[in-house]
């Protein structure tokens, strides 16, 4: 599964990168309506569902694309950092300073496992790595010269925790593994990606 995911992710990244390189905005005489490339954009948000903090840094790539990384830290359930390097391609009319975009990203996280308590015996595991990818569409609004508000919606896939429980009871091992998988896909590993961020562009 990990090999197939990495191959698909690599193909998506190269496709987006090649498209961005081969489809720049045609040179124009500067006018008041010409969109200028930005140097950088820093944005952040707090996710109230499955509490998390997000900080994102975006940089221009040619005149119609950008790249960057979205850094998340999950505060509940499987806690820890999740990194999302991404590439965006913006619409022809807006350039990359604002407007509609398509985004593809890789995902890597290093998270703590859940601690379970069974018959007064606490079962503790340390950490695990999760890998994935995502695709989404969104829009970045430029308010004035520097303030940005962006939202995106899409799909993402994250590999679930693989923990070999050894409680001494086979039924308990199966139960804990099942609870991990179900809980993962309705919280941290939820496949729908919905984000809103407030940022500063320079």
Per residue in 117-138, pLDDT tens?
555 445 555 788 999 999 999 9
pTM of the complete model:
0.76
Nearest to 45 by CA among 146, 195, 202: 195
Instruction: Find the domain containing 100 and state its range.
Output: 2-21+41-113+129-158+193-201
Q: Which residues contact 88 (CB under 8 A, 6 or more apart)?
A: 16, 58, 65, 66, 67, 96, 101, 102, 103
**Does the residue 61 lie in any domain?**
yes
| Helical H segments across the chain, by residue range | 2-22, 170-186
CATH code for the domain in which residue 90 is found: 2.40.160
Per residue in 184-197, pLDDT tens?
998 999 999 999 99
**Does the residue 89 lie in any domain?**
yes
The count of structural domains within the chain is 1
């Amino acid at each position: 599964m990990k090999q197939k995911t990495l191959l698909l992710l690599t193909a998506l990244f190269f496709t987006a990168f090649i498209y961005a390189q081969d489809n720049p905005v045609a040179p124009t005489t500067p006018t008041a309506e010409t969109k200028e490339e930005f140097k950088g954009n820093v944005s952040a948000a707090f996710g109230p569902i499955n509490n998390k903090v997000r900080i994102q840094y975006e940089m221009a790539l040619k005149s119609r694309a950008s790249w960057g990384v979205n850094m998340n830290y999950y505060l509940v359930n499987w806690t820890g950092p999740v990194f999302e390097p991404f590439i965006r391609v913006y619409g022809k009319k807006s350039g990359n300073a604002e407007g509609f975009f398509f985004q593809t990203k890789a995902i890597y996280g290093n998270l703590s496992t859940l601690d379970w308590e069974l018959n007064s015996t606490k079962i503790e595991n340390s950490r695990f790595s999760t890998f994935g990818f995502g695709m989404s569409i969104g829009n970045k609004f430029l308010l004035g010269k520097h303030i940005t508000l962006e939202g995106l919606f899409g799909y993402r896939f994250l590999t679930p925790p693989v923990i070999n429980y050894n409680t001494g009871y086979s039924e308990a091992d199966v139960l804990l593994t099942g609870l991990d998988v179900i809980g993962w896909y309705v919280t941290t590993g939820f496949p729908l990606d919905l984000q809103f961020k407030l940022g500063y562009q320079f």
